[in-house]
Amino acid sequence: VTSSTISNPVTGQRITLYLAQDGTGGWTFAWPANVQLRKSTYVVADDISAVSVIKLYFDGTNWRETGRDADEVGYVPTPVTSGGNLGTATRLFDAYIRGNEIAGVRLVGGDLATIQAAHDNLPAGGGVIVINSDETISSTLTLSKSNVSLLVGSATTLTLSAQVTVSGDDVEIVCGRGGTVTVNFGSGNANLYVTGDRFALRGCTFDGASFAVAFPNILVFGADDAEFTGNRFINHASTQALMQIEDSDGALVESNWFTAATGNRFVYLLNDTSNTGRHRALHNKLERSNSAFFIHIDRSDENEVGWNYIRSTTQGASLEGVNIGTGDRNFIHDNTILDTGDSGIVVLSSTAACGSRANSIVSNIVAGNDLNGIGLTGGACETLIANNSTFNNGQGVDGSNEAGISLRTFDAISVHPVQDTLIVGNLSFDNQGSPTQAEGISLLDQGTGAVTNTIIQGNYLFSNVTADIEQSGDANTRLIQWDSSNSRFRVVPSIYLPNGSANGIFILDSGGTHRRILSVQNGAFTNATTFLSAGGGVELVDVAGTTSIHTVSDAGVTSNRRLTAGLGTTLVAGDIAIVTTGAWGDTANATVGSVTGKDQWFQWTITAGGANTGANPTIVITFTDGAWTVAAPIVTCNRQDFNAPATVTVTVTSVTTTVITLTFDGTPTATNTYKFSCHVGGV
């Protein structure tokens, strides 16, 4: 129809036009000039026997469209398969699936009796395969086309009795509520084998059906940007891994639930040919009761593992929660890891020195594990351990030496050193009635490699069984704690050094004004311990939190801005004995006064009596904190006044470990006051 008109219109009139094709179809229609259409157009359906419907209203000048029905009312489309029941055409159907959009949908059934047949029948550009009843894959299914969505209907089960291989890009398997993918074979290769980029498995229950296979249930190999979101993985039994992502980049494993009583790793991020990675495992819940890993990173870099809940449902059954076995720049954060049969988080490299570098372990809760909360062993370098809470670990039978945070060399695992570690701001403690966590932080050399260059700062450690910090062999450990109440740095309390261990050097603020350097020799912080000070005076606090007097000796030239003997007991007048008659004088007897200082540095005054003074009187001073434990100290004493006789000096007559005896080399003048001071140093 090349032209048309509507005759004899009446203002306010409403009409409905039905435009029907004949048995040939393909006819076009030209609208009257005074018909105003929405979007300025309406193309009539051109299929055989198709009917197009439009409603118009006359406003006195023009016919205005007030509504249109879907194109092709009454048209019965040819079903995509004779057995795939799409129903007859309805207005609802025509409104949502019409024209070439239907060409991209294939229902499994009838002429397309298998998923493979439906896939092969899709257009070259891909499309949608719908499974709305239970299906079994009995021979290898190959999804080679790209842009394919395989939809498993609600409460529908797709059984894998043969392997599914995905080589096309942008392929997804999506399940409705209750949709399940079940494994039903245990030989050959991976149940689901993916080599195409951007594969996705979403919203499915993936049931391993307890098949003990020696290959992964799901293997993503050389394929980038895979996605596993919102799935439920159950009954995993593979001795290799449930999900192995190998030689691939950028996978996302998020918001899944993993549970199993058998099998090996849940998530295995592995690279054989190069250290690729950049995978993310986020917001997952992982629970198991057998001896296996939860998340294992091996030769894979720049992965993020965060906000996961990881727990062994049977104490002592599983292995590490997160294991980095060679990998750089991985970020392990904000996970809750409980009750595993090994350590909560482990970093190591058995293959090379510093094979695992620059990994960060931050803000995790790690508790109740059989061995350590967080463990670094040989090959772990440049690791940051910050703001974690580790408590009540060491639950296993061999947990007597286990710590909240452990740095340890052990040849059975790796012969390489653990080095350049920063441990800062962590909370490590044990609050059980029968505590099991031996140390808050443990540094142990138990193998060929060494634990070296460790900085420990600002951690809160308490109520651990053996010590808050155990150190053996790291000659460059730095322990720093800011004492805010006294505005100074001090050594962290409760440092345990096993007898026979190498010395530990503890450096406090080595670049600032509070420089202190200590070498602690074989033992705990007790009064019997010898401390070697090569950088200045230091306040030492014992395990009980009380200040103690320790033997301090100088290993060489010491340079100090100021040195203050602030510890010990203040001397009193009773610690200084004098003779009055015939010496310091009587008739208003001589007196000792103005005593200040402690055993090491002190001063006092003596006021002579009114009469009967004598030549060369003595002064006997008793050390108020008891005997010097090594040998009699070296003592220097002087007069600090100019009273008559002004030229007379005071001489140190004798020194023992308990007393100093001085002689005034002249005769005191009655009633004059004399001032003295002494400096005492141990040898």
More confident residue, 368 or 101: 368
Confidence band of 571 (pLDDT split at 50, 70, 90): very high
Report helix, strand or coil for 683. Answer: coil
More confident residue, 67 or 222: 222
**Range in 61-65, 239-243, 464-468 with the lowest mean pLDDT:** 464-468
Residues contacting 329, CB < 8 A, separation 6+: 301, 302, 357, 358, 359
Q: Could you tell me the pTM of the whole model? A: 0.63
Query: Strand (E) positions, 458-613?
Result: 460-462, 467-472, 478-483, 488-490, 495-496, 504-508, 516-520, 530-533, 551-554, 576-578, 584-586, 591-597, 601-607, 611-613
Report the C-alpha gap between 232 and 263 in whole angstroms: 16
Residue 186 phi, psi (nearest 5): -135, 35
Q: What are the structure tokens assigned to 108, written together?
A: 């499994």
Q: Looking at residue 83, what is its pLDDT?
A: 38
pLDDT in tens, 144-167: 999 999 999 999 999 999 999 999
Q: Looking at residue 432, what is its pLDDT?
A: 94
Residue 530 phi, psi (nearest 5): -95, 130
Report the C-alpha gap between 629 and 551 in whole angstroms: 8
Residues contacting 463, CB < 8 A, separation 6+: 429, 430, 431, 435
Query: What percent of the chain has a predicted confidence (pLDDT) above 90?
Result: 51
CB count, 10 Å around CB of 401? Answer: 18
Report CA Rg, the chain.
Answer: 43
In terms of C-beta density within 10 A (0-12 exposed, 13-18 middle, 19 or more buried), how is residue 45 classed?
A: buried
**Top-ranked range on mean pLDDT: pick from 58-62, 262-266, 314-318, 414-418:** 58-62
Task: Give the DSSP letter string of 325-360.
Answer: ES-SS-EEES-EEES-SS-SEEEE-SSSTT-EES-E
Report helix, strand or coil for 82. Answer: coil
Report whether pLDDT(260) > 70. yes
Q: Looking at residue 171, what is its pLDDT?
A: 97
Residues contacting 3, CB < 8 A, separation 6+: 30
Q: Looking at residue 316, what is its pLDDT?
A: 59
Q: Looking at residue 445, what is its pLDDT?
A: 79
Question: Cα-Cα-Cα-Cα dihedral of 195, 197, 203, 208, to 10°?
Answer: 10
Average predicted confidence (pLDDT) for the chain: 80
Q: Looking at residue 187, what is its pLDDT?
A: 67
Confidence band of 274 (pLDDT split at 50, 70, 90): low
Query: Considering only CA atoms, which of 170, 268, 173 is closest in space to residue 224?
Result: 170
Report yes or no: 404 and 374 within 8 Å, Cβ to Cβ: yes
Query: Considering only CA atoms, which of 603, 643, 594 is closest in space to residue 621?
Result: 603
What is the distance between the terminal CA atoms of the chain, rounded to a whole angstrom? 121
460-477 average pLDDT score: 75
More confident residue, 25 or 554: 25
Q: Looking at residue 378, what is its pLDDT?
A: 87
What is the maximum alpha-carbon separation in the chain?
A: 151
Q: What are the structure tokens assigned to 233, written together?
A: 């993985």
Confidence band of 318 (pLDDT split at 50, 70, 90): low
Report the C-alpha gap between 264 and 156 in whole angstroms: 28
125-139 average pLDDT score: 91
CB count, 10 Å around CB of 369? Answer: 34
Report whether pLDDT(554) > 60. no
In terms of C-beta density within 10 A (0-12 exposed, 13-18 middle, 19 or more buried), how is residue 310 classed?
A: buried
